[in-house]
Chain A
Amino acid sequence: MFKVYRVNTKTGSVSCESLKEDYRYFGNRGLIAKVMTDEVNPKCDPLGPENKLILSTGLLAGTPVTTAHRLSVGGKSPLTGGIKEANVGGNVAYLLAQHGIKMIIFEDMPAGDEWRILKISANGSADLVDASGYVGLNNYALVEKLYENYGKDIAVLSIGTAGERGSKIASLQATDATTKHPSRAAARGGLGAVAGSKKIKAVVVEKAAKRFEFPYADKQAFDEANKKLVEFCTTPGSPIAGMSMGGTISLLDITAATAVLPVNNFSADFFPAEKLEKINAKAWVERANKYGGKQGIPCQPGCIVKCSNVYNNSRGEYVTSGLEYETYALCGPNWDISDIDFIAEVDRICDDFGIDTMDLGNVVAVLMDVGKIPWGDANAVRDALAQMVEGKTELGKLMAQGTDAVGKAFGAKRIPTVKGQGLPAYDPRNAKGMGVTYATTPMGADHTAGYAMDFMGDNTKKEGKIELSKNMQTVYTACDNIACAFCFPFAAENPDLFPALLKGAYGGEWDIGRIMGIGAQTIKMEKDFNTAAGLTAADDRIAEFMYEEASPATGAKFDFTEEELQEIFK
């Protein structure tokens, strides 16, 4: 059976139990919701002993299904005050699944100041080991040191100094399967600070000496279904096959053309053509393939979608990997910047320090909007980021506390957040379905919670967008139990693929309705947790200025009433 490790960070004990029977048909995000519902006081202090830090793997982890090895990190968020699940690629979940580990739950808090690493050894045993030699290191140096000590056959989930210092936008970084660098981020909601509050610097997972065997109900049926999924993903011309060409950054051509792309702190205007030319999908692909850079690489073993990339500087040296649309847009046009090298540099700084690039994108944009940093001034941004990483100046410390904190400190009128979390890179006035998702998902402003872009219609119109967001939230939450958002939602349009896989894996009757039911149940648990934590309909609102300021490009405002938004929960 699947294993669950429970780590008491106060006593230092680690125990192993079997996955509970009623947890069996949940994965990743659904498992986080289950544990939070059953075990965590919704009113607890996110950085106190009652909160838990949960790691979980997906329903099909341990099988060869493409993208089945996403890792979820969960707990109560210090940023939103609600439940949080942050989902990450890389090789950590893959190695956990090799050991048959479905979840790791970190509990309580140490009384003293000793930092520790949870080490899963090749034989599957789990122990807390002293991390004093690693504290104070940022993620890249930390991972190099761990490779020196434990060899390269490990996967690492870690926090940088942002998480150590309790930054509300601190990430946990996972090692990438291809580059081996800590470039994949469980970025959102400040869960890196929850790890920091429990003095957990990293989780190190060694390759299993003996691989756990997935208990298939019908292996032959499973293999046949998996063959069909592979065919579906690799057929030339399919949207999935296209993901390996420019990755998610190709989306910029669409969002820029529709004023969905955030420009100058979500002004909802078009990015000027001469600047766009330097940064559009074509420019990106040309630049990214130069100097030994690569497109179309997998971030986790067995991924055939391969949307990831490696970005090198002009000397051919590695800068970053897994540079994605959100970072590119929020740390580029949203700062009036069209310099790809600079955006890659920012991505590297954030991954190293261990901070969410999306929140940082919003933090800096607000600083520009209030005049603290000039628009488009890369050197001034470099200086501010150096202050943040060093953590000595007031500005540097403030930046690490997120967009709301910065906005309030400087009296900003335009603070692009929902539930304290910075907006992803779709302007809610010109992408209304996305706005509905940001406002209503229990996760705070989060595009992957329900990707509600209307590809056949007008995204500036509100008609049909509540329904679209509701459907997409269900699809993407089901996805967050099973596989990567760049595979599952496309495959789910074919009603047979995933039901057949789950039937082969677990037995019983599966159809797409049952899978969507897992998504719906997960959202229900999350919403109930947030309600018990004290969040209300008043928290389900987009940033105030988006109700008042019309988009100069389209004239659209975010015009949903509170009642209309609450329809989504009916």
Chain B
Amino acid sequence: MIKVNRREFPWEAGLTVQALLDNLKDAGEFLSIINSSTTVTVNRRAIPRQEFASTLIKDGDELLLMSHLVGG
């Protein structure tokens, strides 16, 4: 189990940041946060965009997705 924006999601071995973002999108989660400007932190460490595909997520990791969204 991992946490994304404080919500629990299942984990599987070999899960990368990029695969997680793709899965979340397919499941209709965080749709307007996941875009070309999304920042991802894993256990508070920011992951560079070019490393999304190679960064493995471990069981129990806590991720935060942020995007340049503004509120009105």
| A contacts, CB < 8 Å to B | 237-239, 241-243, 245-248, 250-251, 253-258, 270, 273, 276, 280-282, 285, 307, 324-326, 329, 424-426, 447-448, 451, 455-458, 485-486, 489-490
Contacts and interface: CB of A to CB of B under 8 A. Distances in A.
B6 A245 contact: no
A246 B32 contact: yes
Contact of A455 (B6, B7, B30, B39): B39
Contacts of A242: 31-33, 35, 67, 69
A241 B35 contact: yes
Nearest to A457: B46
Contact of A282 (B28, B39, B65, B72): B28
Interface in B21-39: 28-33, 35-37, 39
Given A248-B71, A324-B72, A257 B5 contact: yes
A325 B29 contact: no
A237 B32 contact: no
Given A273-B7, A282-B29, A239 B71 contact: no
Q: Main SS of the interface on chain B?
A: loop
11 contacts: A239-B69, A250-B31, A254-B65, A255-B71, A257-B5, A258-B64, A280-B7, A281-B30, A281-B32, A285-B31, A456-B66
B35 A254 contact: no
B24 to A, nearest CB: 10
Given A246-B32, A253-B5, A256-B5, A447 B71 contact: yes
B32 A455 contact: no
Contacts of B36: 237-239
Interface residues of B, number: 24
Interface string B26-59: 0011111101110100001010000000000000
A424 B37 CA distance: 24
Contacts of B5: 253-254, 256-257
B70 A451 contact: yes
A270 B6 CA distance: 10
Nearest to A254: B66
Contacts of A257: 5-6, 64
Contacts of B39: 455-456
Nearest to A325: B71
B50 to A, nearest CB: 15
B72 A326 contact: yes
Contact of A246 (B31, B46, B68, B72): B31
Contacts of B64: 257-258
A250 B69 contact: yes
B72 A448 contact: yes
Contacts of B7: 273, 280
A485 B33 contact: no
B67 A254 contact: yes
Nearest to B8: A273
Nearest to B5: A257
A455 B46 CA distance: 10
Given A239-B35, A282-B29, A485 B6 contact: no
A245 B32 contact: yes
Nearest to A456: B39
Nearest to B31: A245
Nearest to B4: A257
B71 A425 contact: yes
A251 B66 CA distance: 9
B35 A281 contact: no
A239 B28 contact: no
A250 B39 CA distance: 15
Contact of A256 (B6, B35, B67, B69): B6
Contacts of B65: 253-254
B32 A250 contact: yes
Given A250-B33, A424-B71, 6 more contacts: A237-B35, A246-B32, A248-B71, A250-B69, A455-B39, A489-B70
The residue in B33, B39, B44, B69 that gathers the most chain A C-beta atoms within 10 A of its C-beta is B69
Contacts of B68: 239, 455, 490
A324 B72 CA distance: 6
Contacts of A250: 30-33, 69
10 nearest interchain CB pairs?
A325-B71, A257-B5, A250-B32, A245-B32, A324-B72, A242-B32, A237-B36, A248-B72, A251-B71, A248-B71
B34 to A, nearest CB: 8
A426 B64 CA distance: 17
A325 B6 contact: no
B19 to A, nearest CB: 17
A95 B38 CA distance: 37
A223 B6 CA distance: 46
A425 B72 CA distance: 9
Contact of A253 (B33, B35, B44, B46): B33
A313 to B, nearest CB: 23
B3 to A, nearest CB: 9
B10 to A, nearest CB: 16
Contacts of A273: 6-7
Contacts of B37: 238-239, 455
B42 to A, nearest CB: 14
B69 A251 contact: yes
B35 A456 contact: no
Given A248-B70, A254-B65, A257-B64, A243 B32 contact: yes
B66 A455 contact: yes
A485 B72 contact: yes
Contacts of A237: 35-36
A305 B72 CA distance: 13
A448 B71 CA distance: 8
A239 B31 CA distance: 11
Contacts of B69: 239, 242-243, 248, 250-251, 254
